[in-house]
Amino acid sequence: MPLSEQQKKEIQEQQNQSNTTKRVTAPNLEKILYEVMPALDHGFIRVIDYMGDDTSIVQSARVSYGKGTKQVSTDSGLIKYLMRHWHSTPFEMCEIKYHIKLPIFIARQWIRHRTANVNEYSARYSILDKEFYLPSKENLAAQSASNRQGRGDVIEGEQAKEVLELLKNDAARTYNNYEMMLNQRFDGSTIDESKKGLARELARMNLTLNTYTQWYWKTDLLNLMNFLRLRADSHAQYEIRVYADIMLDTVKKWVPITYDAFMDYRVGGTEVSAKGKEVIKKMIKGNPCDFENSKLSKREWNELMDSFDLKDKIV
């Protein structure tokens, strides 16, 4: 179910808009505004609107009458300082809005981030698109043996084929029955003129969780970074990480200075506990230090060693 001609036309019309404004603009983000950036097999992300840029952070941190910016180097220093010391409010001064199409089980994970504004396509009001997420073969992972909520090796061969068949058939069958109950096809046509359809708010319960939904999602830069820090992380579920990676790239286009500070201090950085600091201090001084005398749990020790690339010390 690719974009309809009508949808393409509507998107095109938005892209062709050219308005004059006294507001600040983010030229690199403007370039991809409204564009459909594909995610997973049938999903996408589109940037619909935004407010502010790097200079807006500086401007509000200084409560300035004008742009509040001095030179790029000073501004960059201030933004890094704010990021390092967990100042939050200046980053709330930029806002962005996305149009996102995503599988329902991912939408359920996503919505746990409450500090955002959401308008979801209503399945009480309309019929959902006939589209389901089916993992590609390389993403068909077995349950991890060591991590209760993670993935292990890829499932291959016959079993992989069976799994994909089950997912595909069940989604198709339940969607067909959804149409039967509605007495209406996804394209709006009636199935049996002599019958009434079940209420849409009821019929939807027959759909599987890999059915696609869509929403408008708007948040400020601070909360977007909180979202991305968790969801672009290697521990996040692959399917949401696909979306997070695309959004990370929109942040780079929108507020490049903030993006750099974010990558350095949050995404690429690490935290060390009070006990962990004692371990690192000993190691720097060349004093003997191993798991046994570290006062850390095995898990903590290994996470710490992993953070500082001391793989040979993992126990």
User: Would you count residue 33 as binding its own copies (CB under 8 A)?
Assistant: yes
Distance in Å, CB of 185 to its own copies, minimum: 14
Q: Catalytic residue among 231, 241, 266, 299, which?
A: 231
Distance in Å, CB of 249 to its own copies, minimum: 18
Distance in Å, CB of 26 to its own copies, minimum: 9
The neighbouring-strand residues paired with 49 are 97
CA distance 1 to 165: 20
Q: Choose, by CB under 8 A, the member of 50, 212, 227, 259 that binds its own copies.
A: 50
Q: Choose, by CB under 8 A, the member of 191, 310, 314, 315 that binds its own copies.
A: 310
Applying the rule CB under 8 A, the residues between 235 and 254 that interact with its own copies are: 235, 237
8 A C-beta contact, residue 128 and residue 204: yes
User: Would you count residue 104 as binding its own copies (CB under 8 A)?
Assistant: yes
User: Would you count residue 25 as binding its own copies (CB under 8 A)?
Assistant: yes
User: Would you count residue 205 as binding its own copies (CB under 8 A)?
Assistant: yes
Supply φ then ψ for residue 54, to 5 degrees.
-55, -40
8 A C-beta contact, residue 24 and residue 32: no
User: Would you count residue 265 as binding its own copies (CB under 8 A)?
Assistant: yes
Whether residue 231 lies in the annotated active site: yes
Distance in Å, CB of 101 to its own copies, minimum: 10
User: Would you count residue 95 as binding its own copies (CB under 8 A)?
Assistant: yes
User: Would you count residue 19 as binding its own copies (CB under 8 A)?
Assistant: yes
User: Would you count residue 256 as binding its own copies (CB under 8 A)?
Assistant: no
* Short-list 132, 133, 130, CA closest to 182: 130
Choice between 15 and 293, CB closer to its own copies: 15
User: Would you count residue 43 as binding its own copies (CB under 8 A)?
Assistant: no
User: Would you count residue 208 as binding its own copies (CB under 8 A)?
Assistant: yes
Q: What character string, x for contact with its own copies (CB under 8 A) and - otherwise, covers 152-191?
A: xx-x---x--xx--xx--xx-xx--x--xxx---------
Residues 6+ apart with CB under 8 A from 211: 103, 104, 128, 131, 132, 171, 175
Buried b (16+ CB within 10 A) or exposed e, 94-133: bbbbbbbbbbbbbbeebeebeebeeeeeebeeebbbbbbb
Q: Choose, by CB under 8 A, the member of 268, 287, 311, 312 that binds its own copies.
A: 268
Question: Strands across the sheet with 117-120, in order?
Answer: 37-39, 43-51, 95-103, 212-220, 117-120
* Short-list 33, 36, 29, 27, CA closest to 15: 33
User: Would you count residue 214 as binding its own copies (CB under 8 A)?
Assistant: yes
Supply φ then ψ for residue 209, to 5 degrees.
-70, -5
Distance in Å, CB of 255 to its own copies, minimum: 14
Choice between 187 and 284, CB closer to its own copies: 284
Phi-psi region at 284: left, alpha or beta (left = phi > 0; alpha = psi -120 to 50): alpha
Q: Choose, by CB under 8 A, the member of 201, 245, 290, 306 that binds its own copies.
A: 201
Choice between 182 and 247, CB closer to its own copies: 182
- The alpha carbon dihedral of 179, 181, 182, 184 has a sign of positive
Size of the site for its own copies (CB under 8 A): 141
Supply φ then ψ for residue 195, to 5 degrees.
-115, 155
Supply φ then ψ for residue 310, to 5 degrees.
-105, 60
User: Would you count residue 37 as binding its own copies (CB under 8 A)?
Assistant: no
Catalytic residues: 231
